[in-house]
Amino acid sequence: MTKERTDLQHLLSIPVIVAALGYFVDIYDLLLFGIVRLESLTDLGLSEEELSATGASILNWQMTGLLLGGILWGIVGDKKGRLSVLFGSILTYSLANIACGFVQDPTHYKILRFVAGIGLAGELGAGITLVSEILPKRLRAIGTSLVAGIGLFGAVVGYFTVKLFAWRHAYFIGGGMGICLLLLRLGVFESGMYKNLKTEAHIQKGNFFAFFTDKRRFLLYIKCIALGLPTWFVIGILATFSNEFGKALGITEPIQPGLAIMWCYVGLAIGDLSSGFISHALHSRKKAVAYMMLFTLIGSAVYLFAGLSSSTAMYGLCLWMGLGIGYWAMFVTIGAEQFGTNLRATAATTIPNMVRGMVVLMTTLYGFAKPSIGVLLAGALVGLLCFAAGFYATLTIPETHNRDLNFLEQ
């Protein structure tokens, strides 16, 4: 059997395919509120003046759930196994999303998005950890890029689902897809690295506080989080509040945040599919992330300050920035590769959700700054902080290309 055929079999194995489908459903459900935000809140009786504040509040509840859920599922992943997270998380967010289809007021909406956020927190980290540990190291970047690249098209399907069905039905569909995916996961096997570790009772597994008790681990952990900040600045600020930026720029045609998010995720999916091959070609995770982050920075500056005059230009910039933040899978993979097997799921699950949780601070700063400096400068202020932290982390974090992952944190 040729090496190319063997590599293809690895990349098309059941764990990789199921991880990709799981992330597809995860992204569909994660972005669904952003897509139906205006329609659903209007349907619940909110006035136009209440839409922005209430929408930001519900998004913050969801992101707080992601933050707390990331810690929960990360610990479970290292203590009980990667598959425990893949089953438990999808059941949680599927049931929560079905319940969102019955919501009648903003208070219950917040609570259900919080619960959904807890469930959504486990999918990506556990999937990336499992795929990273079962694939040969030469294929890790490509494999995790396939998982994220395929999965991110869930946002596109979410957008068109909302166009074809009422927003309540879109929630039912998302929850139903998750329940169906549970059946596919019955054939997935556990990581060999974790199975070998599981028998070692004396080794401490899934200790979240271990990231804060050792200076080296703490700095690595903070840098891994900083790497991802520009991604959710683009999604959580520039795309989600694109209607506000459109008005500030004087664009006469109303901007649809759902459509902006969809184009952003089209670019993100293509970028994620490409990032693994870019890293593979450059023999460097850091260089791939740095180039893509720079591409995103340029797109963000054009979006805010080039004087866009049409909705087409704004959606085109969302596609551009989406391509740039396509290093998302690479960023999560770097987080998984930095830490030993007994902390790897905790790292890979908490790091992306810490980034998602930072959206609460981003939206808070954005909302606080808007009245005094305006929408465009408020967005630029948040972006400046995110990109400064991201570039610093990229330049100073250790390279993990071709690193052997069969090691432990003491």
Q: pLDDT tens digits for 202-229?
A: 667 668 888 888 899 999 999 999 999 9
CB of 33 closer than 8 Å to CB of 59: yes
Q: What angle do the packed helices 285-305 and 311-324 form, to 10 degrees?
A: 160
Q: Which amino acid appears at position 364 of this protein?
A: T
Alpha-carbon distance of 274 to 271, in angstroms, equals: 5
Would the pLDDT of 345 be above 70?
yes
Quick one: pLDDT band at residue 191, thresholds 50, 70, 90? low
Distances in Å between the alpha carbon of 237 and those of 83, 364, 382?
33, 11, 9
- At residue 335's C-alpha, the angle toward residues 401 and 218, to 5°, is 120
CB atoms within 10 A of CB 406: 12
Alpha-carbon distance of 86 to 64, in angstroms, equals: 20
- pLDDT tens, 156-170? 888 889 889 999 999
**What is the per-residue pLDDT for 77?**
80
How many residues does the structure list for the chain?
410
- pLDDT tens, 91-147? 899 999 999 999 999 899 999 999 999 998 888 777 888 887 788 877 787 888 888
Half-sphere exposure of 354 (CA within 13 A, CB side): 20
Burial class (CB in 10 A: 0-12, 13-18, 19+), 158: buried
Alpha-carbon distance of 383 to 378, in angstroms, equals: 9
Count H helices and E strands in the chain, helices first: 18, 0
Listed by start position, the domains of the chain span 11-185+210-396
Domain 11-185+210-396 matching CATH 1.20.1250.20: the answer reads yes
Query: By C-alpha distance, which of 329, 262, 268 is closest to 295?
Result: 268
Alpha-carbon distance of 147 to 273, in angstroms, equals: 8
Alpha-carbon distance of 301 to 372, in angstroms, equals: 20
Lowest average pLDDT, out of 44-53, 97-106, 194-203, goes to 194-203
Look up the pTM and report it: 0.82
Quick one: pLDDT band at residue 67, thresholds 50, 70, 90? confident
Query: By C-alpha distance, which of 156, 17, 25 is closest to 89?
Result: 25
Alpha-carbon distance of 232 to 358, in angstroms, equals: 8
